[in-house]
Structure formats: structure tokens, C-alpha cells
Structure 1
């Protein structure tokens, strides 16, 4: 089986390639606009918006894993979300059809549900609050429309929650870094629960989907349980690193006021800042998602949530 990963030079893609290359029956090609630090020999540089390049590079492919996306909170112009995430998906499907490739694993996001929802499953209402979530949902609609006229295709959609793990430099890393440094400031009470997913489990689930094929379109949330509160994360970080950690606290309204102040500063300086009102709002939101469907599919996560967190903390911050 030849697996072509589109957008595999990043955090999740690199981990996925590492795992797939251990399988003798699988060959891997990575297509990305950025070079791969770890796997340059199997990487072709191309943009997801370059249909001609996609058609040429997908020759001989059996399955596509589409990871490429604009996902940061501060992408500018915002049209990039829709160009890459929506139009890019359409162009990948067209390139697949040109090469008779009929199996795609597409990574969407729980961002399609919006914030502060009550543990939504895959049938919950769609209510994205930002351009990333809106564009991911529009990309899913592209897949749904395609599926209506391509009944013999396998289209597997994974909606992961925020992904963390060794080597990641996203929001969870920034949070854990602040906690581990002892400089962390809690906004609000810290009782809001956060669904998260360890990269080793997300990659294992994608591999599971490659091997368990069902005609038509299927959608899965991916979340590792249990859901930790922010207070839990402070406690687990201290235990993993052998430190006594506590967090200074400020009220939510003051945190949001500060976020808006940074929004104004970013607009004036035209610089991307680490703090914004959107990030404060996301940090304090209740972000729990139901992953019963994935866990009842026959998949068994290889890493308990606590072990994934411990591995990440030890790799990034050591143990005193």
C-alpha cells in the first residue's frame, strides 16, 4: 500500500511517517510546501493549491492522508483559511480522481462545534466560532458533496481535539511551559475541563483507519480521556516533574480585558503576539468532546492520557 501524506512535514505528519515506515508493506510519500526536517528523501515540495503538481505526485497512490491546513489563530489574510482548507480539499479530491485513488483520511477539527458546548458527539450541531472552524466545516461539506456522487470511495474524517506531544510547539506546549516554569497565571477558577489528544494515539487511530475501510463517509471525534481541568494539568505537571507548583489567579473579566489590550497592540504594531482575546477565551472555555464512536470502533489507544502527558513533560522539560 502506498500512502501519500499531504502536509506531513509538521508535528503530526512527522510522527505518522515515523510509524508507517516501520511497516514493510507500506510505502510513504510526503507532499508539503515546507521541507521535512526528518524525512527529506521521501518529501516532494508542492502546494496543496497546485492541482497539476498534486495530479503528478499522486500517481500510484492507494490512500491519501490530508493533514495540510491553515490552523493558527492569527492567520492573515483570513482568506487563506478558505483557500487552503476548502479549495485545497477540492483540488486534492480532483487530483485523486484523476489517478483513480478512492480512499482519503481527512483531518478536520472539533472546532466545527464551537466553544462551550456540552460534550458534543459527531451528530451535534455545527457552530464554529472562528475562521479555522468555519473553513474546516466547509471542507467537510466539500467531502460530503463529493461522496454523494462517488459512492465507491472511502472517506474517513477525523475531528481531533487539541493535539499535544513531544516536539509540539502549539498552545498546549505553551501552557505546559508556563506551568513548569512556575510563572503560570490562572485566568478564572481553573475548573473548566479540556479535552486533549496525545499525538501517539492520534497517529495510531489514523493507522487504524487505513486498515479498517468502510465504503462511504464516516466521521469520528478523537479525544483521549479523561478530560483534565486546568487545575489538573498544574497538579499532573508538578507530579511528573517532581515540583511543587501553584498558580497565581486573576479573574476572567480582567484576563479578557488584557486580551483585548493585546489585540489593539497587535493591530497597531502589525505583529503576531502570544496573547489575544481569542486565546484567552479559548483558554477559559469548557472544551469537552465525546469520543465514544472512535473508542467503540475497535481501536485501543496505545497510551493512557496520563502517560502521554508524562512522556511530553519529560521530553520537553526533564525531571528534577
Structure 2
């Protein structure tokens, strides 16, 4: 089977390619606007905004995994979210139909639920608070409408929680780096639950869905269990790094005011800054999601959540571990 990974040059696509190449006989083609650093020989340059190009690139393909997305918190103009995330799915479906492809795995996001929800399942009400979440929800609605007229298709939608792992430089990495460097400030009490997805597990789940030969429309939350609090994450990071991590705590209201101040500064400087009110709100919010439906399929995550954290810390923060071990040896004589 020939599988096209659209947007496959990124973090998730590269790790998914690793898994599929080493565990299946599938032929993989990566379609992206940039060449994959690890798999340049598998890459074909294409963009989800170019419908005609997609039609040509999907010739001979049996299944599509759509990973391409605009997902940063600070994309400008905001129309890019809709151009890529909504128009992109419409163009992909058009190109799939032109090539008689009827199977797609689409990565959406738990951002469609909005903030402050209490462990929502797939049946919970959706209320996205930012343009990323709104555009992902609209993309899902495009798929639902498409399936209503194409009941013989196999459409699998995954809403992953925040994804982390070795080599990723996203939000979890930034948080771990702040903790490891001793520059971390706890905003709020730190008892908010955080659902997270280790890269080794999310790509294994995608591969599991690729193997599903049934027709139908399926929707799954995905996050590794059990969920950790922010306090748990700080403690476990310190344990793996072999250091006690003192934590400066500031009230949520004060932290949010600081976020708004950085928003104003970013506007004045016309620059994107690492701190914003949106990121403060997301950091302090309960982001816990029910993944029981995904686990009920029979899928078994190959890694425990803490094992994924350990692998990430040992891979990406080895310099901190080495320094701490040397310091401990010195302290012990």
C-alpha cells in the first residue's frame, strides 16, 4: 500500500515515517512544502493550498495521512489558519476523489474544546477560543459533510493533546528547558492536570488506524495516561536530571497581567515574544482530556508517559544531566 504523508517533513511526520518504514511494507511518500531533512528521497514538494498540484502528487496513492497545519499561537495574518487548515482539507479531499482514494487519517486537535473543560470526551461540546482551534473545528466539519455524501470512505480523525518527544522544540520542550535551567516560575498553584502525548505513542496510534480496513467516520481524543499536574512535571524533571528545582510561584492574576504586558510589547516591537497572555492562560488551564475511546479500540501505547518524559529529558537535556552528575560526584567526595 502506498501512503502519502501530507505535511510529513515535520516532527510527527518524520517519526511516523521511521515507524512505518521499519514495521510495515508500505511505500511512503512525503508531500510537503519543504524537503524532509531525514527522508529527502521520499519527499515531493507540494502545498495543500495548491489543488492541482495535489491531484498530480496523489496519483497511485492508496491512503492519505494529513498532518499539514498552521498551529503556532502567533501566526499572522490569522487568515493563514483558515487557508491551510480549512482550505487545505478541502483541496486534499478533492485531490483524493480525483485519484479514487477513499481513506484518510486527519490530525485535528483538542484545541477545538476550548479552555477550562473538565476531561471532555469526543461527545463534549466544542468551543475553541483561538483561531487555530476554530480552523481545526471547521476542518472537521468539512470532513463530516464530506462523509455524509461519501459513506463508503474510511475517515479517521485524531484530536491529540500537546505532543512532545526527542527532538521536538514545541511548548513542552520550552517548559522543560525553563525547569531544567532553573529559570522556571510557577504561575498559579501548579495543580492543574495536563494531558500530553508522547511522540512514540501518537505515531503508533496513527499507524494503528492506518491498518483499519473498515469504512466509516471515527473520531478519537488521544493523550497518554495517567495525566500529570504541572507540579508533577516539575518534580519528575528534577528527578531525572538529578537536581532539586526550586520553584518561584506567582499568583495567576499577576502572571496574566504580565502576559498582557508582553502582548503590548510585542505589538510595539512588531516581534513575536516567548511570553504572551494566551500562553499564560494555556499554561494555567486544566488541559485534561478523556482518551478512553482510543484505548477501547485495542490499541496499546508502547511507552508509559513517564518513560516518554525520561527518554526526552535524557536525549535533549543530557548536558544538564552530565553537569548535575559531576556536581553530585564532587559533593560526595
TM (normalized to structure 2)?
Answer: 0.95
Per the alignment, residue 277 of structure 1 pairs with: 277
Per the alignment, residue 246 of structure 1 pairs with: 246
Is 1:174 equivalent to 2:174 in the alignment?
yes
Equivalent positions of 1:16-165 (< 5 A) are: 16-165=16-165
Per the alignment, residue 261 of structure 1 pairs with: 261
Structure-2 change in CA distance of 1:24 and 1:292 (3 Å): closer
In structure 1, what is the Cα distance between the partners aligned to 2:245 and 2:143?
Answer: 46
Q: CA deviation digits over 1:96-139, x for unaligned, max 9? A: 00000000000000000000101000000011000000000000
In structure 2, what is the Cα distance between the partners aligned to 1:23 and 1:305?
Answer: 22
Q: CA deviation at 1:160?
A: 0.2
Contact 2:116–2:285, Cα closer than 8 Å, also in 1: yes
Compare CA radii of gyration and give the structure with the larger one: 2
Contact 1:220–1:293, Cα closer than 8 Å, also in 2: yes
In structure 2, what is the Cα distance between the partners aligned to 1:25 and 1:169?
Answer: 30
Q: CA deviation at 1:8?
A: 0.6
In structure 1, what is the Cα distance between the partners aligned to 2:24 and 2:105?
Answer: 21
Contact 1:180–1:238, Cα closer than 8 Å, also in 2: yes
Q: CA deviation digits over 1:29-57, x for unaligned, max 9? A: 00011221111110011111111110001
Structure 2 counterpart SS, 1:151: coil
Is 1:195 equivalent to 2:195 in the alignment?
yes
The ranges of structure 1 where at least 4 consecutive aligned residues each deviate by more than 6 angstroms after the TM superposition are none
Which stretches in structure 1 are left out of the alignment for 5+ residues? Answer: none
Per the alignment, residue 6 of structure 2 pairs with: 6
In structure 2, what is the Cα distance between the partners aligned to 1:10 and 1:37?
Answer: 9
Instruction: Say what the alpha-carbon RMSD is for the aligned residues.
Output: 0.7
Contact 2:46–2:57, Cα closer than 8 Å, also in 1: no
Q: CA deviation at 1:214?
A: 2.6
Structure 1 counterpart SS, 2:106: strand
Q: CA deviation digits over 1:230-261, x for unaligned, max 9? A: 10001100111111112111111110011000
Contact 1:234–1:246, Cα closer than 8 Å, also in 2: no
Structure 2 counterpart SS, 1:189: coil
Contact 1:9–1:36, Cα closer than 8 Å, also in 2: yes
Q: Count matched residues.
A: 320
Structure 1 counterpart SS, 2:86: helix
In structure 2, what is the Cα distance between the partners aligned to 1:255 and 1:246?
Answer: 18
In structure 1, what is the Cα distance between the partners aligned to 2:152 and 2:186?
Answer: 50
In structure 2, what is the Cα distance between the partners aligned to 1:100 and 1:89?
Answer: 16
Is 1:290 equivalent to 2:299 in the alignment?
no
TM (normalized to structure 1)?
Answer: 0.99
